[in-house]
Chains A and B, each alone.
Chain A
Amino acid sequence: MTEVTSRRAFLAQGLVTGAAVTIAGAARSETPDPLITQVQPWAQGLGDGVDASPYGLPIEYEADVIRRNVEWLTADTISSVNFTPIHALDGTITPQGCAFERHHSGAIEIKKEDYRLMINGMVERPLVFTYADLERFPRENHVYFCECAANTGMEWAGAQLNGAQFTHGMIHNMEYTGVPLRTLLEEAGYDTTGKWVFIEGADASSNGRSIPMEKALDDVLVAFKANGEALRKEHGYPVRLVVPGWEGNMWIKWIRRIEVMDGPVESREETSKYTDTLADGISRKWTWAMDAKSVVTSPSPQAPITHGKGPLVISGLAWSGRGAIKRVDVSKDGGKTWETSRLAKPGEKMALTRFYLDTDWDGEEMFLQSRAIDETGYVQPTKTQLREVRGENSVYHNNCIQTWWVRPNGEAENVEVS
């Protein structure tokens, strides 16, 4: 193996301080810590007044916890994607400001006053709603994950991007407030012989998708708030579709029209894209549900271990588009042996679940993996298992087990193992 130089100066710095902590029990310090013995400026002077930041941003020391783009993936940033910094977050709720973005013709701006939502097609009463109309329907709150079908897609051919943000960051998890799509369909008097709804956005791409009526009537939301506040423009302000457990492309942003139809439109986004080509050249379509999946977010390439051996919190996220997460196992040896992790809370349907493995690191190399099991009993497969069924030409729906190679110095790398 060739030695790879670390690209991160901060890691080296962390290791210097971390190296001292080697024995069990609290470490001893030779000299008093001036941060304690000397009066610090923040303990003496005054901080900012209440209105220093009428809408607050994270403190400057967190300036690296941001969405990032992989420039070579797309022709330009208007029709592109960036990634949630999942390696630096904890808990399950994704703050809107760092939740990944995917646009097909850029993030547009529509005022609430200019917003219109039409329902037409096989309905008794074709209707137009304003934003204010939507707020008058009974509404619900639900936490759901939204994962792009292409999340981890760059890893099909082999380990490629070095960081959980880039391999697994096309996901976010928010609490949505909205009106069930079913309520709006009933308001328009939908024809029950209509088996599909076609839903499109107001942006130039329109990103229209056909959704079977059964799902539309089940749990789809027309949402206007996320995590308590208005949607961000990059997530579809003022109104977006929420399609629990199904691929992010169907979560139409800036939703402007719902058409009840007797067949699918077979739009660009459901034929030429978001279809999965198998080894024999035949492609699967309508692969809507996101299979159970998990990833260790820390330690990971962007979140190395900086404290040396001893107590270590291994943490990660798990989710399934087919229900709640029941269990997550973690392996430190590349899948030879597994330990069942602790779930921070019992898994919720179609929402992110946080898992922890509180462990004692011996300072030796690890091949860290996690494996999710959902309420259907489905166990997250390895990449080899996926390739056996799907071949190597797939892009979307890669829910394979991820491996991080953690070295004795705490650095981690995205690798593929036998």
Chain B
Amino acid sequence: MSKFLKIMATLGVLATPAMSEPLGLGRTALPEEIAAWNLDVSPDGTGLPPGSGDVLTGEEVFAGKCASCHGDFAEGVDNWPKLAGGWDTLARKDPVKTVGSYWPYLSTTWDYVNRSMPFGNAQSLDPDEVYAIVAYILYSNDLVDDDFVLSDQDFAEFEMPNADGFIVDDRMETEFPKWVGEPCMKDCKDSVKVTMRAMVLDVTPEEASAETAEIVVAEAEELVPEPEVASVDPDLVAAGEKVFGKCKACHQVGDGAKNRSGPMLNGVFGREAGAVDGFKYSNPLMAQAEEGLVWNDETLTGFLAAPRSYIKGTKMSFAGLKKDEDIEAVIAYLTTFPDP
């Protein structure tokens, strides 16, 4: 019996909340299991592992693992989150909410980077890398100097600029009393004028009617060619699709695939490198392309195993696939997306 239950029983106050007797289901969580999953970090630093990282190391790690989406200076690429800047914008129209301008606790940044980043390769960073990345994000927000070192020891002392920028939900006090009660039913206003129209803005996605959709389906069925390569192992392709989960954050395949922070990959197998229209490749990759690099089994295997040593200076900030079978599978998967 828990200490709590003992007290309750002694006092004879088994009223609300009435604890029901355990059913004895489940099993005890082992310390190793709790350690593996209990990763959250609280504002006071509870949950932080020992470690440290400095701004310059952070800059290097950030350039390799974060910059393809968040930009070299944490300014954000396309629609990906901006992590730096936005000072004094919170009270203006369209505030820019970054780690520096908005996030109230440093623990949130550490926790999120550690638990969920990089996008598509979560929980791959060691604690020192996380400390270094967080230090660099602070530096890119002009909150620390370039000789700053962040560690578990001094973590809790760090106060974020917008720490006092939050209040607890006050709708019941500020809104509810205004809008409660019997509302007006007749002659509630003199005139009604259109002040804004969605069709003028015209940002709504187009949609096909059921009829068009049917036609598209029918045509697609007619157009599907007999598979030319009968030798692709469906199990291998399925395994490759899973592996491709690591690539999806930056690369698209299939119908409507577009360039993202990486080029779209339809037809990549068998094609010369650096050939997707509209994608800005790194200079080192274009240099290799000019020398005749073609993506085949051998070259893709080499590149995917260690992208940044295979093409030094590539924009692809991916550590590489460690297992040969993963590489084989993902190549098999890519061959199923021919150039349209």
Residues of A within 8 A of B (CB): 1-2, 4, 7-10, 60-64, 68-72, 74-76, 78-79, 104-106, 118-121, 124-130, 133, 136-137, 158-163, 166, 182-183, 186-187, 189, 191-192, 198, 200, 204-206, 208, 217, 256-257, 259, 261, 263, 265-268, 271-272, 275, 277, 279-289, 291, 301-302, 329, 333-338, 367, 371, 373, 376-381, 385, 389, 392-393, 405, 413-418
For A338, give its contact among B167, B183, B192, B205 (CB under 8 Å): B183
Interface SS majority for chain B: loop
Q: Which of B17, B191, B199, B207 has the most CB of A within 10 A?
A: B199
Residues 30-72 of chain B, each 1 if its beta carbon lies under 8 Å from chain A, else 0: 0001100110111100000000000000000000000001000
For A277, give its contact among B90, B111, B197, B211 (CB under 8 Å): B90
Which residues 270-287 of B have a CB within 8 angstroms of A?
none
A205 to B69, CA, bound (A): 16
Q: A335-B188, A337-B187, A413-B199 are in contact. Are A271 and B103 (CB under 8 A)?
A: yes
Q: Quick check: A283 and B34 within 8 Å, CB to CB? A: no
* Nearest opposing residue in chain A for B7, CB measure: A192
Q: A417-B194, A418-B192 are in contact. Are A266 and B210 (CB under 8 A)?
A: no
A378 to B119, CA, bound (A): 42
* Nearest opposing residue in chain B for A161, CB measure: B204
Q: A71-B205, A126-B34, A187-B22 are in contact. Are A267 and B108 (CB under 8 A)?
A: yes
Query: Please, could you name 17 A-B residue pairs with CB atoms under 8 Å apart, sorted by A?
Result: A9-B209, A10-B211, A75-B78, A75-B79, A128-B33, A161-B204, A162-B199, A186-B22, A256-B37, A257-B38, A271-B103, A281-B91, A283-B167, A284-B169, A329-B185, A379-B181, A418-B189
A416 to B196, CA, bound (A): 5
Q: Quick check: B189 and A405 within 8 Å, CB to CB? A: no
Chain B: minimal CB distance from A217 (Å): 6
On chain B, the number of residues with a Cβ less than 8 Å from chain A's Cβ atoms is 96
* Nearest opposing residue in chain B for A127, CB measure: B26
Q: A265-B111, A271-B104 are in contact. Are A378 and B180 (CB under 8 A)?
A: yes
A336 to B260, CA, bound (A): 48
A389 to B41, CA, bound (A): 34
Q: Quick check: B196 and A159 within 8 Å, CB to CB? A: yes
A208 to B40, CA, bound (A): 9
Q: Quick check: A379 and B180 within 8 Å, CB to CB? A: yes
* Nearest opposing residue in chain A for B78, CB measure: A75
* Nearest opposing residue in chain A for B115, CB measure: A206
For B210, give its contact among A64, A198, A206 (CB under 8 Å): A64
Is B318 interfacial (CB 8 A cutoff)? Answer: no
